[in-house]
Structure 1
Amino acid sequence: MSNSIVAQQVWMPAFIGNLHSVNVGLNFVDDSPVVVSAGSAKILSAGSITAGSYTPGTDFTLMDATVTGNTLTLDQKPYWAVGIDNVEEVQTNPQAVANLTREGAYGISASIDAYLLGRYTSAITANKLTASAGAAIDMSSVAIYTKIVAAGTALTKAGAPMSGRWIVVSPETHARLLQDTTYFVRASALGDMVVTSARFGTTVSTTPGFVGQIAGFDVFVSNNLTTASAGANAYLVYGQGKPIHFASQLGEVKVAEASKQFGSIIKQLVVFGAAVLGPNTGRIGSIYVVNA
């Protein structure tokens, strides 16, 4: 039991594969290599650079790139743990490993997804779309298409590129989009190829959560959006490119003897952090809607 050796080469690939296969938020993160130590990561973010007009025979002016060093705290620590009778027997059974890691990864993925999609709070005020006085927008009286168009306008005014725009909607909003036969381009479950802005060949089967396109946005659906009023309202999240900085440490799968029981405990801890930094605050936003 406690002397069992966990074959990391068996468990880790299965866990990572399952984690990425269902996570929507990871589509929009910048996880470029960073230095991770003592529960934090060092990340460099650059400010906007404007173009100058050169006059022959005169000195040009240097622009200030405003490169800023940021510390990203890895303060999120989801884990999974299950009790099993025999470690060696389980890890020599591919189906048993697949089943355990799938369920563990799905649970961890939901935690990461919810946190990433909650970073909309860092968006500039102009990118946070609501009804009057900050109330939720009633989709029964306002077409969702008009609000997605407004989201595109907000991104453009904030200087975000036209390509690579995306929006994550709730299952309820997705249901409304499916009834829109005028503007919504649906990606079928059969894998019909949808040529999208700067994402050629994107299909339901290749990108977690992807369901189609509308108003220049790739549309994703997630059950992990931030909600309010006991789930009656939801914050749809939209953006351009990969505005969320993300860093993580994936702990090894470990085994321990179960206290006061015959058997073992398989467990794994994932530590991560995410933030929207610098000009990226203009490349993400939210639409607050009545979730019905």
Structure 2
Amino acid sequence: MAHEAQVRYSKLVDLKLRATLVKKVGVICNNRYEGSPKAGSVKVPVRDTEVAVNDYNKQTGAELTGGDTTYLTVNIDKDKAVNEIIDGFDAASVPDDLVADRLDSAGYSLALQVDSDGSVELTTAGTAFGTTTALTEKTIYGNVVDARTKLSTVHVPTEGRWLLVSPEIYGLLLKSPEFIKASDLGDAVVQTGAVGRIAGFTVFEDSTLGEGVEYIAGHPNWFAFIDEWAVPVHVQDLNGSSKYIGASAVKGRKVYAFKVTKPQTILIKKKA
């Protein structure tokens, strides 16, 4: 029974983390890499050139061309843990509710931490875009259209483009007639955590972008996320320890890393 409970607890935390996390794999980032994160580093592919298309001749065939895919070594530099004591008397006072609440909180807190670390990588390794003049209701749509055009000039696919926006910018978008709310786009969009679409971007509200960042525009092809649980979140009985009597703890550990592989495909709009 204890094992079944631990499995249930881990699933609860994982579900909460996935539901809260803005930077979801396959939507905002990719997890294409070679090697094991537990080894301390992995190799992330960077598609430097696209496969060339040549004319075909029935007699001579087509000329051979070379491609260029390099691999970046990415160190797994994030190692985060939760380790919170739950007093036995407190837990007994509110049977399963206190434990469930702290597990829920663990999933929520870990998601915010992961999102924050992803934002740091994006803003550090991406490319500054436009001026530092704050966006307004009148200028926001034109600015986002300019970002769309900029990504097209560096051959970022139109399908899958995303826009991470601060809560303030999301507020401006809600007042923009060009903004299409997620509720009008169908369940598939809503399930990704999107709040809408504008100028070809799927929009996500992200409260972890950092001070002065209004939005970040990009595509999952060039933003890698390498993650793995080292120790799944669980409830551990502390009886038998030298200090705690009748207590337990919510414990868990996560190792991961983010990597922008092409700075020109990530645009950061900041205000002064």
Shorter-normalised TM range:
0.7 to 0.9
Residues 1:16 and 2:14 are matched in the alignment: yes
The residue correspondences of 1:1-292 to structure 2 (distance < 5 A) are 7-26=5-24, 27-32=27-32, 34-36=34-36, 37-49=38-50, 50-58=52-60, 60-86=62-88, 95-120=97-122, 121-123=124-126, 125=127, 128-131=128-131, 136-140=132-136, 143-180=139-176, 182-187=177-182, 192-194=183-185, 201-203=188-190, 206-208=191-193, 210-227=194-211, 233-250=212-229, 251-253=231-233, 255=236, 257=238, 260-262=243-245, 263-277=247-261, 280-289=262-271
Aligned-partner Cα distance in 2 for 1:61–1:122: 37
Q: Cα deviation per residue 1:92-135 (whole Å; 9 max; x = unaligned)?
A: x7644532221011111111111212333323x4xx2131xxxx
Q: Which has the higher helix share?
A: 2
Report the Cα offset of residue 274 of structure 1: 1.1
Unaligned runs of 5+ in 2: none
Q: Deviations over 1:115-167 (max 9, x none)?
A: 212333323x4xx2131xxxx22224861111100110111000011112110
1:42-89 deviation digits (Å, cap 9, x = unpaired)? 3333322232233443353333222323322111122212111349x7
Report the CA distance shift for 1:244/1:83 in structure 2 as closer, same or farther (over 3 A): same
- C-alpha distance in structure 2 between counterparts of 1:33 and 1:139, whole Å: 37
Assess, with a 3 A threshold, how the Cα gap between structure 1 residues 34 and 96 changes in structure 2: closer, same or farther. Answer: farther
Kindly tell me the number of residue pairs found equivalent between the two proteins: 258
Matches of 1:101 and 1:32, distance apart in 2: 30
1:183 positional shift? 0.8
Given that 2:161 and 2:219 are in contact with CA atoms closer than 8 Å, whether structure 1 keeps it comes out as: yes
1:28–1:241 CA contact under 8 A, matched in 2? yes
Say if 2:84 and 2:250, in contact at 8 Å, map to a contact too: yes
Whole-Å separation in 2 of the counterparts to 1:202 and 1:118: 25
Secondary structure of the 1:151 match is helix
Q: Residues 141 and 48 of structure 1: is their aligned pair in 2 closer, same or farther, counting only changes over 3 Å?
A: same
Measured at CA, do residues 284 and 81 of structure 1 come closer, stay the same or move farther in structure 2, by a change above 3 Å?
same
Cα distance between partner residues in 1 of 2:64 and 2:223:
29
Residues in 2 aligned to 1:144 and 1:60: alpha-carbon distance in whole angstroms: 47
How much identity, in percent, do the aligned residues show?
A: 23
Q: Which moved more, 1:254-263 or 1:268-277?
A: 254-263
CA contact (8 A) 1:30 1:246 kept: yes
3-state SS in 1 of match to 2:232? coil
Structure 2 equivalent of residue 230 of structure 1: none
Secondary structure of the residue that 2:271 maps to in structure 1?
strand
**1:141–1:175 distance in 2 versus 1, CA, 3 Å:** closer
Note the residue ranges of structure 1 that are not aligned, 5 or more in a row.
Answer: 228-232
- Residue by residue, what CA displacement relative to the aligned partner does 1:174-196 show, whole Å, maximum 9, x if unpaired? 1111111x211123xxxx3416x
Alpha-carbon distance in structure 2 between the residues aligned to 1:256 and 1:74: 30
